[in-house]
A and B are shown apart, each in its own frame.
Chain A
Amino acid sequence: MQSMKKHAKIMFCYFRLNLASAMEYRASFFTQAFGMALSNSSFIFFWWIAFRQLGGTIAGYSFYDILFIWSVTSSAFGLSHVLFENVNNLSQLIITGELDTFLLQPCNILVNMLCARTSLSAYGDLAYGFVLMALSHGADASAWGWFLTGTLIGGFLITAISLTAHTLTFYLGNASVLGQMTTEFVINFSIYPDKIYGTALRVLMYTLIPAGFIVHVPLRLAREFSLGTLALLLGAAAVYGVLSGLLFYRGLRKYESGNVIITRL
């Protein structure tokens, strides 16, 4: 319990320091936030046109459903990158040996490493989701509840997915490109109705790259609550989180044995 308190304090301290450090770049923050809002809005524009021409639903999703999954994706992505941005740096840390700095400190290595960086533009993503929700779903309390659920679980899952991808650096060498591609997949799985994809990809998005649990399951729960589905959502997130953590610790043992070095003749 005391350890949890200590780690909570450490996380909060990182949060404060990250924000202060990122303020150095606040000039470009506004351009980045603007750019991101513009990008996202052009997709929303597309969907507005599509629904206007076709009406009804596309792959079972209405225009409001699309707005919901966009909001959750944006905020979940934002949350993950505000709190745990350093996961995207993990491959570099492993290769350069900078991971050692974190290992030398009396703190849980995952907490210490993940929280050490933030992305200023991610604050924009986080805010955008809330703004979009407000504009599209007004005061619909149920929708907001599932939006927040999706954001929290989504932020957690996005971090876990990136962690898994970058953990492969322990085993295969520089996996930072894989990490980037995985993020692409997660985004593409999350911003379109899940049924547009074939069976193989749908299996993928509910197992290895569980983007389905970030937006689509919360949407189903928002439409029609079911205790079973909720249990599935929480269970899947927990299981995936634990597995990704275990994979990381296993890789870390390899790192600590010094067997992660690949030399060239």
Chain B
Amino acid sequence: MNAITTNALYKSYRARVKDEGLRASFRSLVKPVYREVEAVRDINLTVDCGEVMAFIGPNGAGKSTTIKMLCGILHPSGGEISVLGLSPVRDRQKLAMRIGCVFGQKSQLWLHLPALDSFTLLAAIYGIPENEKKRRVSELAELFGLSEFLRTPVRKLSLGQRIRCEVAASLLHEPEILFLDEPTIGLDVVVKQAIRELILRRNRENGTTVFLTSHDPGDIEQLCRRAVVIDRGTVVLDSPVERLKTDYLGKKVVNVTFRTPQASMELAGVSFESAGGGLKARLTVDTSICPIGGVIEKLSATGEVLDITVNNPPMEEIITTIFRREAAT
């Protein structure tokens, strides 16, 4: 049995369109004007049990809509969808027992109480007996390093600690699939790494399928083996992350400001774009050919560097590139 199967998944909804102002409000009440919005157009997806999959796409591509349909909180307009052999629409509560979710702004934890109390409530909701709950909580506490702040009110925790509790909470009922929507956003590098390792470990030890959306290339690179790129409601690319890495993520963008105008720099794997009369430059570095350290060394050697920033190409750029490329092939 597959973890997830969708076939020609389609979602459109009617959005009522209304102008500003009182008169428009009345008009809208009497004679409403609707606009058909196609959020998801034709998604065919098969995810095996135990896979760790990244679901990438620009904002408005249909990621949240798809995840909501997989979880059963949004009903598809067309197509078929099956999660763990169940229909999310018909068997929502049954499915809810077997999936876990960590969604951006929506917290499952009570702010004024310690996370432990929220775990108790979740145990009641998921029908976990008391002894079993105690065992799982201590296991998760050890795994996620929660023991020291499990009894502190959640609002007093740092963001990193809170996210760790959030992810632990989503695993309390030992779900077979874990849906994560931007789990590492706003966290510092150390905490991000910790969360990634915890999720990976869960997948390795328990075979939990992981379905992750993220804008962070680091998440995708380190956590997922497969990436599905979605844009404007359809799947644009479905490939192993390795290919994504070599084709798109192996690049870094370096922005430099010089003191005096600099001529182009000759270095294999580096493309040099000059601007501002030679005072500014944008270097696109293929790190598989030329490691970033070498580029920085060469730039420093000029002795003319005033400011330097090193960035990953933005996900939007990657997606657009992918889309253009795939559309062209």
Whether the complex brings A and B within 8 Å at their CB atoms is answered: yes
Interface size on B, residues (CB 8 A): 39
Shortest C-beta distance, A78 to chain B (Å), equals: 22
Interface string of B44-66 (1 = CB under 8 A from A): 00000000000000000000010
Shortest C-beta distance, B224 to chain A (Å), equals: 22
Shortest C-beta distance, B90 to chain A (Å), equals: 12
Q: Which of B30-80 contact A (CB under 8 A)?
A: 35, 39, 65, 68, 71-75, 77
Looking across the interface, which residue of chain B has its beta carbon closest to that of A25? B112
Asked, given contacts A13-B121, A265-B19, whether A101 binds B108 with beta carbons under 8 Å apart, the answer is yes
Asked if B103 is at the interface of the complex by the 8 Å CB criterion, the answer is yes
Asked if A107 is at the interface of the complex by the 8 Å CB criterion, the answer is yes
Asked if B294 is at the interface of the complex by the 8 Å CB criterion, the answer is no
Alpha-carbon distance between A10 and B117 when the two chains are bound, in angstroms: 13
Interface string of A241-265 (1 = CB under 8 A from B): 0000000000001001111011111
Nearest first, the 6 A-B pairs at minimum CB distance are: A106-B96, A258-B13, A13-B124, A103-B73, A106-B93, A106-B97
Are B94 and A106 in contact (CB-based, < 8 A)?
yes
Interface string of B74-112 (1 = CB under 8 A from A): 110100000000000000111011000101001110101
Shortest C-beta distance, B43 to chain A (Å), equals: 16
Are B117 and A17 in contact (CB-based, < 8 A)?
yes
Residues of B within 8 A of A253 (CB): 75
Asked if A184 is at the interface of the complex by the 8 Å CB criterion, the answer is no
Asked if A74 is at the interface of the complex by the 8 Å CB criterion, the answer is no
Interface string of A165-197 (1 = CB under 8 A from B): 000000000000000000000000000000000
Residues of B within 8 A of A264 (CB): 17-20
Q: Which of A44-69 contact B (CB under 8 A)?
A: none
Asked if A112 is at the interface of the complex by the 8 Å CB criterion, the answer is yes
Are A259 and B13 in contact (CB-based, < 8 A)?
yes
Are A258 and B74 in contact (CB-based, < 8 A)?
yes
Residues of A within 8 A of B159 (CB): none
Q: Which of A1-29 contact B (CB under 8 A)?
A: 6, 9-10, 13-14, 17, 20-21, 24
Shortest C-beta distance, B192 to chain A (Å), equals: 24
Alpha-carbon distance between A255 and B77 when the two chains are bound, in angstroms: 13
Residues of A within 8 A of B103 (CB): 100-101
Given contacts A261-B13, A263-B35, list 5 more A-B pairs with CB under 8 A: A17-B113, A98-B106, A104-B96, A256-B75, A263-B15
Interface string of B149-177 (1 = CB under 8 A from A): 00000000000000000000000000000
Are B15 and A103 in contact (CB-based, < 8 A)?
no
Shortest C-beta distance, B96 to chain A (Å), equals: 4
A-B pairs with beta carbons under 8 Å apart, 30 shown:
A9-B124, A10-B121, A10-B124, A13-B121, A17-B113, A17-B120, A17-B121, A98-B106, A100-B73, A101-B106, A101-B107, A103-B72, A103-B73, A103-B92, A104-B96, A106-B97, A253-B75, A256-B74, A258-B13, A258-B75, A259-B13, A262-B15, A262-B16, A263-B16, A263-B18, A263-B35, A265-B17, A265-B18, A265-B19, A265-B20
Looking across the interface, which residue of chain B has its beta carbon closest to that of A264? B18
Looking across the interface, which residue of chain B has its beta carbon closest to that of A112? B125
Residues of B within 8 A of A13 (CB): 120-121, 124
Shortest C-beta distance, A155 to chain B (Å), equals: 22
Shortest C-beta distance, B166 to chain A (Å), equals: 12
Looking across the interface, which residue of chain A has its beta carbon closest to that of B99? A104
Are A100 and B125 in contact (CB-based, < 8 A)?
no
Residues of A within 8 A of B19 (CB): 264-265
Asked if B126 is at the interface of the complex by the 8 Å CB criterion, the answer is yes
Alpha-carbon distance between A264 and B71 when the two chains are bound, in angstroms: 28
Q: Which of A91-135 contact B (CB under 8 A)?
A: 97-98, 100-101, 103-107, 112
Interface string of B118-157 (1 = CB under 8 A from A): 0011001111000000000000000000000000000000
Residues of A within 8 A of B110 (CB): 17, 21
Question: Counting chain A CB atoms within 10 Å of each CB, which of B39, B77, B125 scores highest?
Answer: B125
Looking across the interface, which residue of chain B has its beta carbon closest to that of A10? B124
Residues of B within 8 A of A97 (CB): 106
Are A263 and B17 in contact (CB-based, < 8 A)?
yes
Residues of A within 8 A of B93 (CB): 106-107
Residues of A within 8 A of B251 (CB): none
Shortest C-beta distance, B124 to chain A (Å), equals: 4
Shortest C-beta distance, B93 to chain A (Å), equals: 5
Shortest C-beta distance, A161 to chain B (Å), equals: 24
Are A107 and B125 in contact (CB-based, < 8 A)?
yes
Asked if B226 is at the interface of the complex by the 8 Å CB criterion, the answer is no
Alpha-carbon distance between A257 and B14 when the two chains are bound, in angstroms: 9
Are B125 and A105 in contact (CB-based, < 8 A)?
yes
Alpha-carbon distance between A10 and B127 when the two chains are bound, in angstroms: 9
Shortest C-beta distance, B60 to chain A (Å), equals: 13
Looking across the interface, which residue of chain A has its beta carbon closest to that of B39? A258
Alpha-carbon distance between A261 and B16 when the two chains are bound, in angstroms: 7
Residues of B within 8 A of A262 (CB): 15-16, 18
Asked if B11 is at the interface of the complex by the 8 Å CB criterion, the answer is yes
Residues of B within 8 A of A98 (CB): 106
| Cβ 8 A contact of A104, one of B14, B65, B71 | B71
Are A105 and B96 in contact (CB-based, < 8 A)?
yes
Are A258 and B112 in contact (CB-based, < 8 A)?
no
Shortest C-beta distance, A258 to chain B (Å), equals: 4
Residues of A within 8 A of B112 (CB): 21, 24
Alpha-carbon distance between A264 and B74 when the two chains are bound, in angstroms: 22
Alpha-carbon distance between A98 and B125 when the two chains are bound, in angstroms: 18
Interface string of A142-160 (1 = CB under 8 A from B): 0000000000000000000
